[in-house]
Structure 1
Amino acid sequence: MWSARLIFPARNFLSGQPLSARSGLLNSRVPIQCSNIRTGGSRKAPRYGKGSNFQPKTETKIEVETGPVSPSKLWKPLGFTVAFSSACFVGASIWQYENILARRKQQWNWYEEQLVRPRKYGWIRDRLNHVWNGLTEGQKTFYVICFANVLVFLCWRIPMFQSTMVRYFCSNPASRVVCWPMALSMFSHYAPLHLFCNMYVLHSFSSGACASLGKEQFVALYLAGGMVASMASYVYKCVAAKPGLSLGASGAIMTILAYVCSRYPDLKLSIVFMPFFTFSAGTAIKVIMGLDAVGILLGWKLFDHAAHLGGAACGLGYYYWGDKYVWQKREVILRWWHNIRGSGSH
């Protein structure tokens, strides 16, 4: 039960040295798989020799913007965070509306579904449908999110994509592109262990969160939490003048973790590899947030502690006020969408 959002310090990119990436309860050193990393195109990274872990076949030129970040530059990502998060909940409201209509239509058309419509043939397809339909809504949602994360992870393995991956799938307040990386970085993992630990934690809490929120609200909260975590990371890097690239889903996962631990504080949890050691969910979220707060105060650079705290704060805030002031206020959106669908059908 642990997740981590990695910080890749800018100085490692400048020197071309392998980045030290640690995730979860275990450590793993991972060299960045690029043979030519530049800052402003002025400084080359040394080539890897025969004794290195990776020998690139093609050279990839990567520019990493560094330097102090002016507080005035944070207004644009702040506006994007508000707009993106709002769009997530608006989209979730419409998604839920359409799902309710689809279920009602399916109930009325059961005769056509069962007898008139031709059956899907093929043993493999039938078996896959059977397995998929046997999953809970939380499990289905998790596998979709996990698939997106694995797909981005595989893109990191393609040398010709790495310039794009660093620019758009790593959040960096000093970059010329500051908005979309805030969202895309929550699906980005470079180290296999980092990906595994984050997906393990998400799998552990997704079913409980979906059971409480519904899949539509769960996805909206997950995405909005990831955005708030990225924004918190930007603010910390700007105030502390500590530039660096961040990536990982742990900010969004911390949002779900904080919500579930607040919703079910007496739920018993355990640490992976130590199932005999159990503790309450309420205690777990306090300890995790406390460690992240200490990490910020002491300047720990292993994880993006600001992003963790930002995501956790989003989850706690949504538990206490989100349902009343956000989700229960969607009636205006539903009425507006209902009118659009009604006018479009005539």
Structure 2
Amino acid sequence: MLWSALRPSSLPRSRSFIYSPRLFTATPLVAPSAVLQTERTLAQTIGRPSVRNQVLFALFGSCAVFAYAAAWTNIETDEWLEKLTRGRAPRTWPHTITSLDMKNAADLALAQELREGLKNVGVWTSGLGMATRNRIMYIWANVAQSYLNVTEGKRLCWKICLLNVGVYLAWKSRRFYPYMLRNFVHDPLSGRSITMLTSMFGSRMAVVLALNVFFLDGFGSSASFHLLQRQDRLPEGQLEATSRYHFLAFFISAGLFAALVSHITHLKVLYPRLIARLSLPSNLPQPKPDTWASAIRTPAPISGTRAFFRSWFPSGQPKLRLTSRTGGTGALYALMTLTALGFPNAEIALFYPPDYSVPIQWAVGSLVLLDIVGISRGWKFFDHIAHMGGTAFGAVYYVYGPRFWSWLRTVIADPSPVDVK
């Protein structure tokens, strides 16, 4: 009776206990398997977020934007073909209509629209003073002339740049900041898909915005011109009145693919490693590397000199956190890659001194190498994984993109009417 009263019956019987008659306490023996069971329970409780919705969104979004672009390209091409052939006899129109003829006609129509716009500005400012009115019309004429002189691809790039500036101004507004934080930042753990698209435009930092505008204005027009040239060189000989829809579809699809690569890498590579590190007890020593891959992930002891340089260029590897992304740098890398492959002998130079030109392949290769180093070092200022995804998209599209675009336009084109007898 006395022994049964002193026995701690509330403790589980499945564990082994050491009984001390002096202290009347029970000390459990925790087996190593219990620690492993705790780790598995934490990982199973938190789980791994699914990437199915994001994959489907990027896939169907790219298909939708390419289908829309191909349909409107066919529509405008048919319209300009009808305008140029209407009322013209073969002797007054001896040569075959080309894509360049339709683009020249579109530029003439744009010039007429800009002239009408200048007249409207003069009517709207008729009530102002002569000096103010002349200054406004002078500014409008210069802007309109600059807009008319550039290529169609650069005009679209300017519009995207204005959109980025507008998004940046919305970030700086206290009223719109909560809305921008919810809808223009892609968080890998949020489970949302639409932010993969909205986060492409604009940035919260002025430096990143300036870099996006600079690269988009420089490489965007070159990439658009390359797509136009490749379309003309195809043996099918498809007419194309405009190339802005093709360029827009390429830009959006490249941004979605880059965001998807970053999203999958964060959730399928970085997130499991973060959970595994959090699951380890703090009092257990770090395991020694037993394979080549684990040896790379395990930081090696460094000297004082290397530690000094690492203090200036720190590694984000020990922190191992998931970061949100903003900005369309992945799409910009796709434009740079397409331009470097399309114009391998081109050189790039800054527009301010020193005016030193660099081969474009060296410049793009250096940026890709910098991203590889950033991924290995765990840098978090830029989304280097998205940069690599954009680079891969640009390289693949350089090889297969023009033929895919020609095939898609053929599929979407309206069939010729059949005569019913």
> What TM-score do you get using the length of structure 1 for normalisation?
0.70
Correspondence for 1:171? 186
1:269, CA displacement in angstroms? 1.6
Q: Is the 8 A contact 1:268 1:279 kept in 2?
A: yes
Distance in 1 (CA, whole Å) between partners of 2:46 and 2:393 is 24
1:77 aligns with 2:54: yes
1:92, CA displacement in angstroms? 1.5
Correspondence for 2:383? 304
1:266-306 CA-partner distances (Å, limit 9, x unpaired)? 21123565644432222222221121112111211221100
Alignment partner for residue 260 of structure 2, among 226, 231, 241? 231
Letter in 2 for 1:236: T
1:284 aligns with 2:363: yes
1:258 aligns with 2:337: yes
> What value does the CA root-mean-square deviation take over the aligned residues?
3.0
Unaligned residue ranges in structure 1 (runs of 5+): 1-67
Alignment partner for residue 180 of structure 1, among 178, 189, 194? 194
Q: Is the 8 A contact 1:90 1:333 kept in 2?
A: no
Q: Is the 8 A contact 1:170 1:188 kept in 2?
A: no
1:95, CA displacement in angstroms? 2.0
> What TM-score do you get using the length of structure 2 for normalisation?
0.58
Distance in 1 (CA, whole Å) between partners of 2:398 and 2:363 is 16
Correspondence for 2:406? 328
Structure whose residues are more often strand by fraction? 1
1:204 aligns with 2:181: no
Distance in 2 (CA, whole Å) between partners of 1:136 and 1:70 is 51
1:332, CA displacement in angstroms? 4.6
Letter in 2 for 1:301: K
Aligned partner of residue 265 in structure 1, secondary structure: coil
Q: Is the 8 A contact 1:93 1:333 kept in 2?
A: no
Unaligned residue ranges in structure 2 (runs of 5+): 1-44, 89-107, 123-136, 228-242, 272-320
Q: Is the 8 A contact 1:69 1:173 kept in 2?
A: no
Distance in 1 (CA, whole Å) between partners of 2:374 and 2:345 is 27
- Gap change, CA 1:288 and 1:156, over 3 Å in 2: same
1:3-46 CA-partner distances (Å, limit 9, x unpaired)? xxxxxxxxxxxxxxxxxxxxxxxxxxxxxxxxxxxxxxxxxxxx
Distance in 1 (CA, whole Å) between partners of 2:245 and 2:326 is 24
Distance in 1 (CA, whole Å) between partners of 2:348 and 2:250 is 22
1:236, CA displacement in angstroms? 2.2
1:285-333 CA-partner distances (Å, limit 9, x unpaired)? 2221121112111211221100111111110110122223x21321453
1:134, CA displacement in angstroms? 2.8
Greater Cα radius of gyration, structure 1 or 2: 2
- Gap change, CA 1:142 and 1:69, over 3 Å in 2: farther
Alignment of structure 1 residues 208-219 onto 2, 5 Å: 208-213=222-227, 214-219=243-248
1:50-87 CA-partner distances (Å, limit 9, x unpaired)? xxxxxxxxxxxxxxxxxx99555211101111111111
Q: Is the 8 A contact 2:185 2:195 kept in 1?
A: yes
Q: Is the 8 A contact 2:375 2:384 kept in 1?
A: yes
Alignment partner for residue 132 of structure 1, among 147, 167, 171? 147
Provide the aligned length of Structure 1 versus Structure 2: 268
1:192-228 CA-partner distances (Å, limit 9, x unpaired)? 2211111011111122111121322211111111111
Correspondence for 2:81? 104
Q: Is the 8 A contact 2:186 2:326 kept in 1?
A: yes
Distance in 2 (CA, whole Å) between partners of 1:229 and 1:276 is 32
Identity %: 25
